[in-house]
Amino acid sequence: MLVVTSFFLSGPGGPEVTALGSTYVTKTDGTAVGGAYSLMEETFWSDSTPLHTHVAAEESFYVLDGDVELHVAGRTSTAGPGAFITVPRGVVHGLRRLGTSPVRMLTIISPPGFEQIFAEVAERGEEALLADPEALVALAEQHGTVIVGDYPDRSR
């Protein structure tokens, strides 16, 4: 028999930050789940992310609305509402938004921590970081992410 002695409930909303082509609403930064993962509701409105890898974290996405193209380990797939994607740590990946509407996803990082980069980008000023790619690459590395390059061009 399972006895629940406490629980965590996150209603609508939460801490929100917009950075690097998405708006993130944090549902848990990991504190409510013993440091197991962070969970954010992401609205991905940029065209694509760069190809990157997370050195020590898995990243998962549950697509709520919209369609996204995934480039994972050199292969391309598409995912729409109801799709669940998990990218293991160390695997190069990137996302491209398909269509004109933003893609809404639940984004899960395990263990938590990488998501802190978005607040830091917002604090430092996204335009300044984008104008200084070396600073952005260094910041990503401080958060356990290696930027590999641009998302592959569709015309190739």
Q: How far is CA 23 from CA 20, 53, 73, 90, 133, in A?
A: 8, 20, 26, 24, 21
Residue 156: what pLDDT?
41
**Is residue 35 over pLDDT 70?**
yes
Burial (Cβ within 10 Å: 0-12, 13-18, ≥19) of residue 131: exposed
* Closest alpha carbon to 16 in 46, 45, 43, 54: 43
Where residue 145 falls among pLDDT bands split at 50, 70, 90?
Answer: very high
- Domain map (residue ranges) of the chain: 17-148
Out of 9-18, 47-56, 95-104, 128-137, pick the least confident: 9-18
Where residue 14 falls among pLDDT bands split at 50, 70, 90?
Answer: confident
**Is residue 1 over pLDDT 70?**
no
Q: Which residue has the tokens 């409105």?
A: 45
17-148 CATH choice from 2.40.110.10, 2.60.120.10, 3.50.50.60, 2.30.30.110? 2.60.120.10
Residue 63: what pLDDT?
98
Region 25-34 average pLDDT:
92
58 close to 111: Cβ distance less than 8 angstroms = no
**Cα–Cα distance for residue pair 129/32, rounded to 1 Å:** 31
Residue 3: what pLDDT?
61
**Cα–Cα distance for residue pair 112/103, rounded to 1 Å:** 22
**Cα–Cα distance for residue pair 130/144, rounded to 1 Å:** 19
* Closest alpha carbon to 22 in 121, 151, 129: 121
Q: pLDDT, tens digit, for every residue of 80-113? A: 999 999 999 999 999 999 999 999 999 999 999 8
What's 100's DSSP letter? S
Residue 5: what pLDDT?
61
Round the average pLDDT of the chain to a whole number and report it. Answer: 90
